[in-house]
Structure 1
Amino acid sequence: MRGMSDTTDASDMSDEPTVFEYPASLEFGTDAVHQPGPVIPATSKEFPDPEVGEDSPAYGHRSDVRQTIRNAKRVVVKIGSSSLTDETGLVSPDRIDVIADALEARMDRDTDVIVVSSGAVACGMGPLGLAQKPTDLATKQAAAAAGQVLLAQEWARSFARYGRSIGQVLLTASDAARRDRARNAQRTIDRLRQLRAVPIVNENDTVATSEMRFGDNDRLASLVSHLTYADALVLLSDVAGLYDRNPAEPDARFIAEVKSSKDLRGVVAGDGGRLGTGGMAAKVSAARLASRAGIPVLLTSTENIGAALDQAMVGTCFWPREDRLSAWKFWVLYAADSAGTLHLDAGAAAAMERHNSLLAVGLVQVDGAFTSGEVLDIVGPDGELIGRGEVNYDSATLEGMVGKSTTDLPDFAQRPVIHADYMATYSNRQSRVYGATS
């Protein structure tokens, strides 16, 4: 190499780039890589026919909430990995075209549509020669890096048939955990809609760590619905709706309406499949999470997307909670990052459930290093997460206040540890599952 002597030690050349040599057996142009489909201009805007017939238990349902979904002006639609890829794991242009057709038909009704698209890891598996869903973080992120490009390319191609652009929005749990980042994401999505582009939202798997992930895109869709003030959420899977057990079993019962947790008693839901991470259990949890924000949810299969977006008479409908959470409380409970944990005695936990402020006398233990104003987890005497709130003291000060009565504290420490106005409690155990983001 120019400028180096013949006696240069090999260790001094560690920064030299490695030259890749193609194997002799490689035949260019024969490997199974993604090939973009053609852009063929669409001639009409119509909803695709549903997979289920009128005799199916998943079809023909009516309710006031379904009417609300039908008339919603802003809809979030979540699409799973298996709906976007073929049997080999490659992106399927035909499947994406059917989905885009239904979305465009709904937008033709003057409805804003926001897409939450899974599939980045699954779409990267085929081009990278991965036969099975990767389990280690590095390979997952590599597959996501390869697949996200192909996925966005196909979404852009498909909507180009209607002369419409897309915008890709990649989020991590830490983005939702910080209010300034969450607001920025909200403004980006709103501006894309104003410019007649379709926001395509996905978790940023290339940088998200296993400790800071949404967990599945069903939950991400619920948070996006809340973030964008959506009027309805449509969760699409590979099943026509919710059954009380595996629909392959002959005595499985279809559940058309979920008005409260009573309608879910005895329901057995499974986990994710070969390509995805969110099974029916994740979808039910995400639907209930959205309902806490006052958002109605329709759950059905991707093959029924036309019927879901047209008349909303197919699938399972989750009714919104009447005691919907405020925007701040929803963010604190389900999106905000926790900086520490407060452990309470039984009396303080009961007082908190009655919406009273949290006082130092009820503290048993303080975990973490935090400053005043940060969000903390609140744990009851049995170790169960019961709520969250913004703390009034830093961790060093609070550790010296544990268990002390207000009258025994100096004047500067006589405020509540967390005021009732800045505290939110979980209403049920299922909500607590999605409480922590880390």
Structure 2
Amino acid sequence: MPAEHKDVSSASLREHIANAKRIVVKLGTSSLVDLDFTVSSGKIDRIVDALEARMAAGSDVVVVSSGAIAAGMAPLGLRIRPQDLATKQAAAAVGQVYLFQEWAKSFARHNRTIGQVLLTAADAGRRERARNAQRTIDRLRQLGTVPIVNENDTVATSEMRFGDNDRLSAIVATLTAADALILLSDVDGLYDRNPAEPGAQFIDEIRSGHDLANVTAGDGGRLGTGGMASKVSAARLSARGGVPVLLTSTQNIDKALGDASVGTVFHTRPNRKLSAWKFWALYAADAEGVLHLDAGAVKAVTSGGTSLLAVGITRIEGDFKAGDIVEILGPEGEGVGRGEVAYDAADLAGMLGKHTNELPESQRRSVVHADYLSNYASRL
């Protein structure tokens, strides 16, 4: 696969995306809803026709669809996007119906059935629930049905949200082992600044965070929550999990799903690709507690391949159990990573700062084994 090679060219990566067997396609709110907050049959029909052409060429497609809150505004008589959680959830409850009716009606023109998959961050945060979502999506595809995924805004709390569907699409792409993620919005690709500004330069490809050093990306617009900054973050997240990304506008959907000759591509980095478990632990899992480390322990676990021992832990927080995911912080409170802890909090409390040979035989294994520890050090 071209994306597996460090020296892959932009052209080769685009060829890989054009021929990818399993793809996730994310649509932003403005791509689905008109300015009067009504769901646009015309926009959705054009999108579905392009998706159907890609599926006819042999690809499996998962759609991540925004738009539920915006679609509920017109039926509820709302003129501006709600800010309070209760009204957002009410709008989503109404809008979800209108939005999926349009998706179903449009795909029915091609004798294609759709399946609705509504997720919350809690679903991705628990390993078994994440696996269950993955199995459901896979089974829908096996049955020839197009999974339409959205965040379950009607029940998600402000503390337990993905934040936007860009991030959700990156997590779905990784959970389902997609070959490519295609992010579609109202901008034709990534620029070094607002493309409306004079002299803005288009960026063809991103290989690492260093390529973003001089890029200024903005926030969301009138209809949606995810601006270019959100899309860049999601694209990097997806690439970190080993799934390359094409970022472009919905207007370019035919070429995006055809030869992938448009937009900006984000390369994966094979030497820094996370395993499925480490990706989940780092970016999706719920953390049940916190381990605070001294400087020596931080250096050890971020150097790679080193397990975390009790001697390097200065303080713990939370009532976690063995097998839970915990957040790992440095001496100044800086994020170090996450891992699966091997001890209950009550047991670990009496082990802090002790060398392995000072502990009873039953407590001489590592607190977080290197195989179950994922650090933030190599995110660039």
What TM-score do the two structures reach when normalised by structure 2? 0.95
- Of the three residues 355, 365, 371, the one matched with 2:321 is 371
- Partner of 1:21 in structure 2? none
- Partner of 1:105 in structure 2? 53
Secondary structure of the residue that 2:75 maps to in structure 1? Answer: coil
- Of the three residues 59, 62, 69, the one matched with 2:17 is 69
1:279 aligns with 2:227: yes
Secondary structure of the residue that 2:331 maps to in structure 1? Answer: coil
- Partner of 2:288 in structure 1? 339
- Of the three residues 145, 149, 155, the one matched with 1:197 is 145
Instruction: Describe the shift of the 1:129–1:372 C-alpha distance in structure 2 as closer, same or farther (beyond 3 A).
Output: same
Q: How many residues align?
A: 370
Aligned mates of 1:127, 1:322 — CA distance in 2: 47
Aligned mates of 1:62, 1:364 — CA distance in 2: 46
1:311 aligns with 2:271: no
Secondary structure of the residue that 2:246 maps to in structure 1? Answer: strand
- Partner of 2:207 in structure 1? 259
Cα contact 1:378–1:386 (8 A) shared by 2: yes
Aligned mates of 2:378, 2:342 — CA distance in 1: 26
Which digits, 9 at most, give the CA deviation of each residue in 1:57-113, with x for residues without a partner? xxxx96110000000001100000111111111111111001001100101101101
**Deviation, structure 1 residue 382:** 2.1
- Partner of 1:385 in structure 2? 335
Quick one: which amino acid aligns to residue 286 of structure 1?
A
Cα contact 1:272–1:279 (8 A) shared by 2: yes
Aligned pairs for 1:14-29 within 5 A: none
- Partner of 2:188 in structure 1? 240
Aligned pairs for 1:400-419 within 5 A: 400-419=350-369
Aligned mates of 1:189, 1:399 — CA distance in 2: 41
- Partner of 2:310 in structure 1? 360
- Partner of 2:377 in structure 1? 427
1:82 aligns with 2:62: no
Aligned mates of 1:339, 1:150 — CA distance in 2: 37
Quick one: which amino acid aligns to residue 90 of structure 2?
A
Secondary structure of the residue that 1:127 maps to in structure 2? Answer: helix
Aligned mates of 1:349, 1:178 — CA distance in 2: 26
Secondary structure of the residue that 1:310 maps to in structure 2? Answer: coil
Aligned pairs for 1:117-196 within 5 A: 117-196=65-144
What TM-score do the two structures reach when normalised by structure 1? 0.83
Instruction: Describe the shift of the 1:346–1:62 C-alpha distance in structure 2 as closer, same or farther (beyond 3 A).
Output: closer
List alignment gaps of at least 5 residues for structure 1: 1-60, 431-438
Aligned mates of 2:378, 2:203 — CA distance in 1: 21
Aligned mates of 2:162, 2:220 — CA distance in 1: 15
Aligned mates of 1:109, 1:426 — CA distance in 2: 39
Cα contact 2:339–2:373 (8 A) shared by 1: yes
Aligned pairs for 1:322-333 within 5 A: 322-323=270-271, 324-333=273-282
Secondary structure of the residue that 1:199 maps to in structure 2? Answer: strand
**Deviation, structure 1 residue 262:** 2.1
Aligned mates of 1:213, 1:384 — CA distance in 2: 23
Cα contact 2:302–2:377 (8 A) shared by 1: no
Cα RMSD for the two superposed structures: 1.2
Aligned mates of 1:380, 1:429 — CA distance in 2: 17
Aligned mates of 1:215, 1:343 — CA distance in 2: 27
Aligned mates of 1:166, 1:375 — CA distance in 2: 34
Instruction: Describe the shift of the 1:367–1:191 C-alpha distance in structure 2 as closer, same or farther (beyond 3 A).
Output: same
1:349 aligns with 2:298: yes
Percent same amino acid among aligned pairs?
66
Which digits, 9 at most, give the CA deviation of each residue in 1:218-259, with x for residues without a partner? 010001001111100000111000000000011101000111
Aligned mates of 1:390, 1:221 — CA distance in 2: 25
Q: Answer with 151-160 or 392-401: which moved more.
A: 392-401
Secondary structure of the residue that 2:337 maps to in structure 1? Answer: strand
Aligned mates of 2:378, 2:307 — CA distance in 1: 20
Cα contact 1:293–1:326 (8 A) shared by 2: yes
Aligned mates of 2:225, 2:372 — CA distance in 1: 34
**Deviation, structure 1 residue 370:** 0.8
List alignment gaps of at least 5 residues for structure 2: 1-8
Quick one: which amino acid aligns to residue 427 of structure 1?
A
